[in-house]
Structure 1
Amino acid sequence: MEVRKELKLLADEKYRTFHSKLVPGKEHILGVRMPKLRQLAKRISAGEGWRTYLDGEPSEYYEEELLRGFIIGYARMPLEERLKRLKAFIPVIDNWAVCDGTCSTLKFTEKNKAVMWDFLQPYFHSDRAYDIRFASVMAMDYFQEEAYLPKVLDLFEQIRHDDYYVKMGVAWAVSMFYIRFPKEIEAFLRRDRMDDFTHNKAIQKIRESRRVTPEEKARLNALKRK
């Protein structure tokens, strides 16, 4: 069955209405739930036609963009090809959901960290909002390690972009790094050069975590900027 037809059969109108509110600005949303979308991506990736699909006509629907991002992560291919396809796909990303969903699927990064770290550098320094968010979420998903921590924090401090989803992506990443490196991130928040919005949102998201003690939350709250 043609992939687009299958997506339409999987669509749920109530979910489309709900999810459309979470992804503002995306008009062409079918309403396919994420588990079903991932199942379809895995099935396509396990077959022989995934290259034909990736190289086919451009995406018309939001779910097709997600599907392409998932397939780049799921399908078996040489690293060189995967990076080439990923490089071609990243400029298509225009919303947080495709960005973050794709990042979470790129598990090959775990075994190719040095290569991927180098791959991400231009995106940290890009002027395009979702390039920066992509790099920031990738850092959060795969580089929460002591060896990378100073490098990641240095890059976060260098980011200067007015887009809401860039700022929230960095704040989210900082909050997740806090769970693993509380002392280091608290010290970072005492001296960081991030913009006020991102700084305060990072603290807010840390304080929302159930894994943070009341004492830590009070201490961090005092670091908010006015």
Structure 2
Amino acid sequence: MTQRLAGKTAFVTAAGQGIGRACALAFAAEGAQVWATDVDEKLLEGYAGVPNVSTRRLDALDDAAISARAKEVGTIQVLLNCTGFVHHGTALDASDEEWDLAFRLNVRAQWKMAQAFLPAMLENHARTGVSGSIINVASIASSIRGLPMRFVYGASKAAVIGMTKAIAADFVTRGIRCNALCPGTVDTPSLAERINAFADPVQARKDFIARQPMGRLATAQEIAPLAVFLASDESAFCTGNAYACDGGMTI
């Protein structure tokens, strides 16, 4: 690795598996000091012995827990918001509870994380000139390209993109960049759980693959390099953008 993130501290949510874990490991390999958090402490055990990584349990729906972690960690240069809930269905299928959970976990939790860490990031930039990068994980699904059966998910991820642009606009002159990372279909444990919930999981996996123009699913490790770029100083002139890593879904 090239130590592109040397000297930076990164805080990652939903780092127990999937995209969050791949990004946390990539950040650490590039020299960042990483705080890997997840609501499931068991998943964090896989970081034992990994250099540059500290783990903590964090429920992203718990405002008090977010504030406590921000106070414990102090100043960071990189915040990766990776928590999310995927609802399967149309506007006719969605319940109030599913809508509320999606917007609490996919949108509000990212806002509360930014709200907790931004003051120290802003103060650090004003004092030292070191900038900060907030990376919000959104999605291709419905937020950029309309996909069937992703009504609630797409609406919430579109809100993430809007929130990302708003944060970018508010702090563009104060050393804070904010961008959205928008994956296509990624082969993660979360996707496997959703596939296994179908009556015919084998066909469901084939259907997910079929919607990818490359004819395969992404790996989480193929998403992580884009997060590294957005975390690094190489993206110093990039803010307020939604970056697709989708295997051609938006061609």
Instruction: Report the TM-score, using the length of structure 2 for normalisation.
Output: 0.29
Instruction: Report the TM-score, using the length of structure 1 for normalisation.
Output: 0.32
More strand by share: 2
